[in-house]
Amino acid sequence: MDKQTYRNKQNKKSDQVNDQVSQIGQRVTGRVLSKQQVKYRNEYNKSALDMFDLKSNLKLTRQLSELEKELKEKRTYGMGFPATFFDYSFFGSFLNMLMNNLGEPTQGGQYAIHTKAYEIKLLKFYYQIFHCHENAWGYLTSGSTEANKMAFLLTRQLYGEKGVVFVSDQTHSFVVDRAKDYFRRHVTIPSQTNGEMKYAVLEERLNRLHDHGEYVPVVVVNIGTTFLGAIDNIKIVSQIIKNSKFEHFYIHCDAALLGNFLPFIDQESPLDFKKYPIDSISVSGHKLPGIPIPSGLFVCRHARIFDDYKETAYLDVKNSTLNCSRSGLAALMWWAFVEHLGKDGFKKVIQHCYKMTEYLLKRFQDISWKAWVNKNSNTVIFESPANTVVEKWVISKVGKWSHIVVMPHFSYSLVDEFIDDIKKQQRKGSQKQRLSEDLLWIKSTQ
């Protein structure tokens, strides 16, 4: 067949298709469409979703594969940050659904594709482990920072401009910055060598504030400081605040990491709404449960205050949360984590982390390397090794100190490999000299 005959044949075919569609168009719209209209309608008759066909883009997929390989390698040696790597790939089939938990979690709202029922189940699990009162309220945030901010916002609603925020010099810097945004005055309490706040200074500063007028102290208690993993003593802090005789006060516990550890240890957890006058708690989801989407929970005992919140008409939900759009996928993954493991499974995961912490500390002692850990913490602080080790093991370094946050992906062999790397560059003399004094310190902090 020559070219012209072929073209004629093709045109005829396409005219036939257009005629057929024209008849359908006529039936659908009740009017006859021109050939041009039919062509246009044909072109737009399917959705634009197929346009995002990543597999057909070889350059991009190659680029992404390389990135995946690089990140997987970093993940193998990731030790310095409170990140861990449970396998959430089961949720792959949820990736083409926009699950958006808009606003108030207890109201479904008009946008129907959400996972609020699971968010509520997740919250109930935490209400239980934190021994919440019946007036508990909370929601899934984008991380502990948003939850900390929410605590500050709540104090403003409760006490207007009267709040004066107390942080320690070990409080996460984002908390301190947000405190400056929300309060006219903030007080920084110095810390002890192990990272706990100096309680006597807190007491003295609270008393001073009391004598100065009608203020409401808002005290941020660190349940696991970021670098040293120190746990402020909630019992002492509560007693000091009660003794200071303020009519009102607010206690917020920043438990970004250890909020998923301490409720499962054999001793009493400080995160207990019934035992202590705690107003709110924040905890991160991307830390221990390793949710691969930054997430957190805000939990408080002030459900009533949200009754008066406005409804957003087009969503038909109260705008009680700090952010409007919230990740329905993160809520679902986190719920699946707690549902699958339950309290017993959680406990086993936590025990694994503490066992590995003990082992790491022992291995540091074996090689006479200066290292220590706070009681009930999984953060091991040690004198920084050479930069090659710091980089390979993705370790966080501040001045001459580094830390390792022992997470569920740790194993004996991983710890041994790390210690072998340190041994290779060990400067024996300088380490040994200070060892006996350090060991005493380790004991006294436990």
Ligand X SMILES: Cc1ncc(COP(=O)(O)O)c(C=O)c1O
The residues that touch ligand X, with contacts defined as CB under 6 A, are: 82, 143-145, 172, 174, 222, 224-226, 254, 256-257, 284, 296
Closest CB to ligand X among 100 and 295?
A: 295
CB of 222 to ligand X, least distance (A): 6
In the complex, residue closest to ligand X by CB:
143
Strands 396-398 and 401-405: antiparallel
> Going by C-beta distance under 8 Å and a sequence separation of 6 or more, which residues neighbour residue 141?
147, 150, 282, 295, 296, 297, 298, 321, 322, 323, 326
Identify which of residues 143 and 385 has a Cβ nearer to ligand X in the complex: 143
Burial (CB < 10 A; 0-12, 13-18, 19+), residue 59, is exposed
- Shortest separation between residue 69's beta carbon and ligand X, angstroms: 26
- For residues 262 and 255, the answer to whether their CB atoms sit within 8 Å is yes
Location of structure tokens 């941020």? 220
Residues in the chain: 446
Question: Pick from 23, 340, 283, 268: which is nearest to 127 by CA?
Answer: 283
Comparison of 178 and 205: residue with beta carbon closer to ligand X: 178
- Closer to ligand X by Cβ: residue 126 or 369: 126
By beta-carbon proximity to ligand X, the closer residue of 140 and 338 is 140
* Smallest distance from ligand X to CB 142, Å: 7
Q: Which is nearer to ligand X, 84 or 145 (CB)?
A: 145
C-beta of 284: minimal distance to ligand X in Å?
Answer: 4
Which amino acid is located at 438 in the chain? D
Please check whether residue 105 is in contact with residue 325, taking contact to mean a CB–CB distance below 8 angstroms.
no
Q: Closest approach of Cβ 227 to ligand X, in Å?
A: 8
Angle at 351 between CA 350 and CA 357, to 5 degrees: 90
Residue closer to ligand X by CB (options 222, 376) is: 222
Amino acid at 139: Y
Rg (CA), the chain: 29
- Output the smallest distance, CB 147 to ligand X, in A: 8
Whether 369 and 418 have beta carbons less than 8 Å apart is answered as no
**C-beta of 111 vs 126, nearer to ligand X:** 126
Cβ closest to ligand X, residue 188 vs residue 244:
188
Three-state secondary structure call for residue 202: helix
Q: How far is the CB of 226 from ligand X (least distance, A)?
A: 4
Tally helices (H) and strands (E) across the chain.
13, 13
One-character DSSP codes across 209-243: HHTTSS-EEEEEEEBS-TTT--B--HHHHHHHHHH
Nearest to 127 by CA among 297, 266, 251: 297
Closer residue to ligand X (CB): 301 or 403: 403
Give the β-pairing of 250-254 and 280-284: parallel
Residues whose CB falls within 8 Å of the CB of residue 224, separated by 6 or more in sequence, listed in order: 230, 231, 255, 256, 257, 258, 259, 261, 377, 379
Q: Closest approach of Cβ 309 to ligand X, in Å?
A: 24
Shortest approach of ligand X to residue 276 CB, angstroms?
18
Closer residue to ligand X (CB): 33 or 221: 221
Smaller CB separation from ligand X, 22 or 222: 222
Whether the CB-CB separation of 389 and 373 falls below 8 Å is answered with: no
| Shortest distance, position 122 Cβ to ligand X, whole Å | 16
Q: How far is the CB of 321 from ligand X (least distance, A)?
A: 15
CB of 48 to ligand X, least distance (A): 35
The edge-to-edge listing of strands for the beta sheet with 216-222 is 137-141, 296-300, 280-284, 250-254, 216-222, 163-168, 185-189
Q: Which residue from 79, 70, 84, 172 is spatially nearest to 385, judged by alpha carbons?
A: 79
CA distance 354 to 356: 5
